[in-house]
Amino acid sequence: MAIRERLSGNEAVATAMKQINPDVVAAFPITPSTEVPQYFSQFVADGEVDTEFVAVESEHSAMSACVGASAAGARAMTATSANGLALMWEILYIAASNRLPIVMPVINRALSGPINIHNDHSDSMGARDSGWIQLYSEDNQEAYDNIIQAVKIAENKDVLLPVMVCLDGFIVSHSVENIELLETENVKAFVGQYEPDEYLLNAKYPIAMGPLDLPPHYFEHKRQQAEAMKNAKQVILQVAKEYEKLTGRKYGFFEEYRLEDAEVAIVILNSSAGTAKEVVDQLRENGVKAGLLKLRVFRPFPFEEIAKALSHLKAVAVMDKADSFSTAGGPVFTEVRSALYGVNSGLNIISYIYGLGGRDVTTHDIETVYNNLKKIADSGKVTDIYNYIGVRE
């Protein structure tokens, strides 16, 4: 039976962690993720979990402790934001290359400098090629659901990769919403016991972990990582089906909102999708065939599925809450554009950078994007591929 509750995004994430009851949580506070380990440490103090909570001196140490715990055979988790994620950078790659199924909520925040504690996606987008699976969450419910699914995805024998579950700082992390929780016993049954085949404390099968990897073997190990990321696509869908049976909530690589008969659409992720859906509904009432694709899975990137979902459109705008400084568009834009290459020669695709450093994105901003798309669809001409919205030019 579902449990009705009112929780902030950080509380929802910490509650999911409590129900999972990992063996080790190592964390260091940083706004706006601080509440996640704070809430969880209280669960530890109250005896609600038997997790070993490790209070470390930095985020680099937090991920290092998770790597050590996971290598030893423990189910390990942490949480961070922005500069904290950047301080973990070296160890993110080590966690992924050692195929350690660590799960980490990332409470998205602008990456300094100038220093800014508000929301954008520069932190997780900067780590997009570190070898971690990345799931994105529109709201508190999706953040909770993604954390539970992430454990099962990460620990699948065909995957064994760490997973980031991303949610927007303050907008989701500190906003209280109605949420449906699972019974704790159902969460435990869903994720199951973590039983790795190989781990450092297995005396019957001694192994080395993280050795020097020279040219004769390094390339092959990277190729194995790439294959694991490919495998993750099918596992993500398989886990989502199992979760739907348990909860009735359906998840996939992305959500198609009024997209089937749309002529123009935007691609967007995290909380801004909710704002965009309101605009889509208003435009539909005015006879505009607008749609939306909300991306949930960014790594592995579902390029074939996205191409199929968008191929019938006349014009698409990809909205990035991070700039790649490539002069070619935002990070999500470049990947979506690549996926659509050769699919539909009549489909024009443009990039919008928005919301950097916590700048509000309004329904008026989103409507402006759709109006531009309508002009492109009608004329077949694109004036500017690389655009900004909501900034003082």
Please state, rounded to an integer, the average pLDDT across all residues of the chain.
97
Residue 21 lies in a domain: yes
pLDDT in tens, 272-305: 999 999 999 999 999 999 999 999 999 999 999 9
Q: How far apart are CA 287 and CA 175, in angstroms?
A: 33
192 burial class (0-12, 13-18, 19+ CB within 10 angstroms)? Answer: exposed
Q: What phi and psi values does residue 27 have, to the nearest 5 degrees?
A: -155, 155
Asked whether residue 242 falls in the same domain as residue 262, the answer is no
Asked whether residue 14 falls in the same domain as residue 148, the answer is yes
Residue 209 has pLDDT above 90, yes or no: no
Asked whether residue 280 falls in the same domain as residue 384, the answer is yes
Q: What is the mean pLDDT of residues 122-142?
A: 98
Asked whether residue 180 falls in the same domain as residue 114, the answer is yes
Asked whether residue 302 falls in the same domain as residue 384, the answer is yes
Residue 393 has pLDDT above 90, yes or no: no
Domain boundary among 194, 218, 247: 247
For residue 120, the model assigns a pLDDT of 98
For residue 1, the model assigns a pLDDT of 67
Residue 393 lies in a domain: no
Asked whether residue 213 falls in the same domain as residue 259, the answer is no
Residue 62 has pLDDT above 80, yes or no: yes
Q: Which domain holds residue 129?
A: 3-247
What percent of the chain stands above pLDDT 90?
97
**pTM to 2 decimals?**
0.97
pLDDT in tens, 142-169: 999 999 999 999 999 999 999 999 999 9
We report the CATH number of the domain holding residue 47 as 3.40.50.970
Split into its structural domains, the chain has a count of: 2
What percent of the chain stands above pLDDT 70?
100
For residue 2, the model assigns a pLDDT of 87
Asked whether residue 300 falls in the same domain as residue 234, the answer is no
Residue 185 lies in a domain: yes
Q: What is the mean pLDDT of residues 230-250?
A: 98
Domain boundary among 187, 218, 247: 247
Residue 18 lies in a domain: yes
Contact 155, 161 (CB under 8 A): no
Asked whether residue 270 falls in the same domain as residue 354, the answer is yes
SS (H, E, C) the chain: CCEEEEEEHHHHHHHHHHHHCCCEEEECCCCCCCHHHHHHHHHHHCCCCCCEEEECCCHHHHHHHHHHHHHCCCCEECCECHHHHHHCHHHHHHHHHCCCCCEEEEEECCCCCCCCCCCCCHHHHHCCCCCCEEEEECCHHHHHHHHHHHHHHHCCCCCCCCEEEEEECCCCCCCEEEEEECCHHHHHHHHCCCCCCCCCCCCCCCCCCCCCCCHHHHHHHHHHHHHHHHHHHHHHHHHHHHHHHHHCCCCCCEEEECCCCCCEEEEEECCHHHHHHHHHHHHHHCCCCEEEEEECEEECCCHHHHHHHHCCCCEEEEEECCCCCCCCCCHHHHHHHHHCCCCCCCCEEEEEECCHHHCCCCHHHHHHHHHHHHHHHHHCCCCCCEEECCCCC
b/e sequence 108-145, b meaning 16+ C-beta within 10 Å = bbbbeeeebbbbbbbbbbbbbebbbbbbbbbbbbbbbb
Asked whether residue 194 falls in the same domain as residue 265, the answer is no
We report the CATH number of the domain holding residue 258 as 3.40.50.920
For residue 91, the model assigns a pLDDT of 98
Asked whether residue 320 falls in the same domain as residue 193, the answer is no
Q: What is the mean pLDDT of residues 258-284?
A: 98
Domain boundary among 247, 269, 296: 247
Asked whether residue 128 falls in the same domain as residue 201, the answer is yes
Q: What is the mean pLDDT of residues 10-35?
A: 98
Give the residue among 221, 223, 228, 213 at the shortest CA–CA distance from 160.
Answer: 228
pLDDT in tens, 83-129: 999 999 999 999 999 999 999 999 999 999 899 999 999 999 999 99
Asked whether residue 126 falls in the same domain as residue 218, the answer is yes
